[in-house]
Amino acid sequence: MILDAVEGGAKKTEVTDSMIGFRDTLRFYEFADKRAILLVRIDNRDTNFTTTAKLYLFEDGTTAEAMAKWVNNQHSDGLFADAPDPKASHDIPAASCKVKAHAIAEQVDAPNGKFTSYTVTFEIKDVPEFGGYTLKDFTDKATVNIKVVEG
């Protein structure tokens, strides 16, 4: 089964903050019709923008609504006790997750300090097949907020 994050109808959800402020950026790609979710995580500690990814597979019959509950629980207070658990998960190799470019978008004042907001272009490429699923190579952009260290 081919998972195409760009043209395959995946629902994208980006999370850059939590109740306590900015956090690692999480980008979820929900392939509801194929019962799969790709999670891309971009670290917000520094401009290395370390990027990791994981593919989650769900049981046949799992609905888009149920998968959306699982996504919500991954970055919130776990409000949905009835969210499904994935039947399998697969770490994407580090060599397949690359940051291609970044640019400063704006400076942001937040309750917990000043942040630089970056637009980060990342690439997921040459991912091995997992459980009959093939992730098509793609490039995308995400927002990452890094705290300004004042000297």
Segment 4-46, tens digit of pLDDT: 999 988 999 999 998 888 999 999 999 999 999 999 999 999 9
Which helix (H) or strand (E) segment holds residue 64: the answer is helix 64-75
pLDDT category of residue 151 using cuts at 50, 70 and 90: low
Whole-number Cα distances in Å, 91 to 44, 113, 141, 147, 150: 20, 33, 21, 28, 36
Enter the pTM of the model.
0.94
Domain boundaries, the chain: 2-96+124-140
Structure confidence by residue, pLDDT tens digits, 81-121: 899 999 999 999 999 999 999 999 999 988 888 999 999 99
Structure confidence by residue, pLDDT tens digits, 134-147: 999 999 999 999 99
Instruction: Name every residue whose Cβ is closer than 8 Å to that of residue 16 and which is 6 or more positions away in sequence.
Output: 22, 23, 25, 26, 143, 144, 145
- Cα(79)–Cα(38) distance, integer angstroms: 21
